[in-house]
Amino acid sequence: MESKLTSPSVVREVLAGLGIRPLKRLGQNFLVDYNLRERIVSGLEINPGDRIVEIGPGVGAITQGLLEWSEDVHAIEIDRALVGHLRSFFGPRLHVYEADALETDLKSLLGPAGKLVGNLPYYISTPLIAAVLQARPAVAVLMLQSEVADRLQAPPGSSARGALTLLAEYAADVEAWAKASPGQFYPPPKVSSQVIRLLPHPSPVALSWDAIRPVVAVAFRYRRKTLARALREGLGLTLQDATSALEAAEIAPQRRGETLSLAEFGRLAACLADRGSLPAQDDPDDAPN
């Protein structure tokens, strides 16, 4: 019988056999809890024939559960020694790519209806979530540090709200799926974790994300300032022009970015675009935070 890759002793044995000490810099905290693994896999609602993409399979705890349901599992792992282990452990049943998930074309790999899963390496969870949302899987189940999971679900008015929250609202329904404690990983991380489920939906506002993104970026870059001042600093408008655009969008100029809903950002972006106040090119500095 195949050994269970959610067993702490098996995971330690595999790592020792490979001469690997889990690397903090690669976010290597391996899942060692069978029930949590099953909860994660169930979130994908896998039907036979579904394409599944896993980011950061590690020793293969989640992968092993995926292969019980699908014969079309694709896993992207950056650590060469783990890639070697995954190839020899699972053989041709698993498609393994030795690659950086951030450099991988997730959309192509997912195909038209692929589903995505990952116990994400925490050091790059924010850009990875943005890449996942933009790749639009049929569903994504992601293990995240609680702070990031909270940011994804932060309502207007919450100080946890940021550009990533707005991108998530634009692209998907965000569902809290499971909580995880440090003892469910080897080695235990310093922070608690949460599993969230992303269910992509059609855009709830008329504008494209690329049209809204610069306004969201400016509002959160100057999150301590009023919106009128943030637009002045970030877009180089006069205070009068910034105030007038906000009033046209029916947003009080003294509000702060974290209080705005996605619909309000949409209205503001449309008013600023009408006035020719938005930069033509994306600001490379405006990655979600």
184-200 burial, b for 16+ CB within 10 Å, e for fewer?
bbbeebeeebbbbbbeb
Token pair in block for residue 190:
């310093």
- Interacting stretch for ligand SAM, rule CB under 6 A, among 70-78, 193-201, 210-218, 225-233? 70-78
The answer to whether residue 184 forms part of the interface with ligand SAM (CB under 6 A) is: no
For the chain, give percent helix, strand, coil, nearest 5. 45, 15, 40
Out of 14, 53, 61, 215, point to the residue binding ligand SAM (CB under 6 A): 61
Q: How far is the CB of 117 from ligand SAM (least distance, A)?
A: 8
The answer to whether residue 56 forms part of the interface with ligand SAM (CB under 6 A) is: yes
The answer to whether residue 65 forms part of the interface with ligand SAM (CB under 6 A) is: no
Q: How far is the CB of 73 from ligand SAM (least distance, A)?
A: 12
What is the side-by-side order of every strand in the sheet holding 52-55? 94-98, 73-77, 52-55, 115-119, 140-145, 193-200, 172-180
14-53 footprint of ligand SAM as x/- string (CB under 6 A): ------------xxxxxx----------------------
Q: Would you say 139 and 43 are in contact if contact means Cβ atoms under 8 Å apart?
A: yes
The answer to whether residue 114 forms part of the interface with ligand SAM (CB under 6 A) is: no
Taken as a whole, the chain contains a residue count of 289
The answer to whether residue 231 forms part of the interface with ligand SAM (CB under 6 A) is: no
179, 186, 209 from 150: Cα distances, Å: 12, 23, 22
Residues of the shown chain interacting with ligand SAM in the complex, contacts defined by CB under 6 A? 26-31, 55-59, 61-62, 76-79, 82, 100-102, 119, 121, 124
